[in-house]
Amino acid sequence: MQIAAVGQAFPTHYYDQDQLIEAFRKIWGQRHHNMARLERIHRNVLVGGRHLALSLEGYEQLDGFGSANDAWIEVAQDVGERAVRDALARSGVDPSTIGAIFFTSVTGIATPSIEARIMNRIPELPRHLKRIPMFGLGCVAGAAGVARAADYVKAYPEQTALLLSVELCSLTLQRGDLSIPNLISSGLFGDGAACAVVCGEKVAEKAQISGPKILASRSVFYPETERVMGWDISESGFKIVLSADVPKVVAEHLRGDVDSFLSEHGLELEQIDSFVCHPGGPKVLLAFESALERPRSAFQLTWDSLAQVGNLSSSSVLLVLRDTMAPEHRPPAGTLGLMLAMGPAFCSELVLIQW
């Protein structure tokens, strides 16, 4: 199994963090007793700017969960289509080989799901392909989706699978919530889409795919951690659940999980030359560095992604994968890499790749 390409797409609206801080001053200035603290929170997440599904004025027209979700459906189709088209153009893969499309998001809901609506926009997609929408995995879904797509093409080596992630985090903002998790998320999360093309062995050979091989994957579930990260869903929509314990969970579990996974394949951490990680936030990335005993330079592309577009939930690790596959960053041929993400449950997903 090989990753042929990763496509990306963003909404047209982009604002730097200064513009967004000023916008939040207008929203919360009359109710929050310490606006300096809000600004400090937004500066500390180290995000330089973010793409947003709507213009800043557009959010003022949203009057509840229904209108926000309608906006999500509309924008998700646009960025999702563009991400799929970008991925296919980059991959060189014959669309007729596509046998399945996995779709993941945790920022909106739709029936029929977004990948079905996109099939109506991209006639090159086979009418017989299997659709597998996934909801609820959150940030971990980028890595988990690649692993599930690899499972599929392992069974069907003559086929290709797509993983499409669309996350429009800004449409989940709770304007009436002044809790610390909501204030952090309002400064951290951005909007966008990514699509990975995962090829079976026979497709990869025929198309001479040069992308990284997927050697193995592992899912890890941590019992009784539902309140570490997730959503509370009510009449007003998705309300963030975000515990300060996320870096602690990374510190307690990640190294042991990685060592166990690699050992199962006769490997040690020292043999891993590159890392494709989800940019959960500065404290999470520092916990990654500490747990895996690597310098910041080993995660530089992840830090850069965080600064440029923010945390895009499931789409982020795919964007980092795209950057890592670029010629100027691509690790040496034959070396091993580890793709990893963590998310609601709480859980982690590890994917062993070879360049």
Which amino acid belongs to residue 329? H
DSSP 231: E
Residue 51: predicted pLDDT: 98
Contact 301, 323 (CB under 8 A): yes
Residue 27: predicted pLDDT: 85
Cis previous bond, 346, omega within 30: yes
Average pLDDT over residues 245-266: 96
CA 248 to mean position of chain CA atoms: 21
Average pLDDT over residues 170-174: 95
Phi, psi of 92, deg, nearest 5? 75, 10
Residues comprising the chain, all counted: 355
Task: Please write down the long-range contacts of 286-295, taking CB distance under 8 Å and 24 or more positions apart.
Answer: 286/247, 287/246, 287/247, 287/248, 287/250, 287/251, 287/254, 288/250, 288/254, 290/251, 291/250, 291/251, 291/254, 291/255, 291/258, 292/254, 292/255, 292/258, 293/269
| CA 285 – CA 279 distance, rounded (Å) | 7
Q: Partners of 198 in the beta sheet?
A: 3, 161
Q: Max Cα separation, the chain?
A: 63
Residue-range domain boundaries for the chain: 2-207, 213-354
Strands 272-277 and 336-343: parallel
Question: Does residue 116 have a pLDDT over 90?
Answer: yes
| CA 106 – CA 25 distance, rounded (Å) | 27
Question: Quick one: tokens of 323?
Answer: 């950057």
Residue 33: predicted pLDDT: 63
DSSP 89-100: HHH---GGGEEE
Using DSSP, state whether 132 is helix, strand or coil: strand
Tens-place pLDDT, residues 291-349:
999 999 999 999 999 999 999 999 999 999 999 999 999 999 999 999 999 999 999 99
Residue 34: predicted pLDDT: 75
Reference 352, options 143, 99, 92, 54; nearest CA is 143
Question: CA of 132: how far to CAs of 96, 102, 148, 168, 289, in Å?
Answer: 18, 5, 10, 20, 34
Question: Quick one: tokens of 233?
Answer: 């869903």
Cis previous bond, 112, omega within 30: yes
Average pLDDT over the chain reads 96
Contact 108, 72 (CB under 8 A): yes
Which CATH architecture group holds 2-207?
A: 3-Layer(aba) Sandwich (3.40)
Question: Does residue 32 have a pLDDT over 90?
Answer: no
Question: Does residue 231 have a pLDDT over 90?
Answer: yes
The DSSP H or E segment spanning 91 is: helix 65-91
| CA 28 – CA 204 distance, rounded (Å) | 52
Is domain 213-354 annotated with CATH 3.40.47.10? yes
Strands 191-199 and 160-168: antiparallel
Average pLDDT over residues 154-178: 95
The reply to whether 213-354 shares the fold of 2-207 is yes
Predicted model pTM: 0.96
Reference 336, options 322, 323, 350; nearest CA is 350
Average pLDDT over residues 71-80: 98
Q: Is 34 exposed, middle or buried (0-12, 13-18, 19+ CB in 10 A)?
A: exposed
Question: Quick one: tokens of 284?
Answer: 């999470």
Average pLDDT over residues 262-289: 97
Contact 85, 124 (CB under 8 A): no
| CA 273 – CA 252 distance, rounded (Å) | 23
Tens-place pLDDT, residues 179-195:
899 999 999 999 999 99
**Catalytic residue status for 347:** no
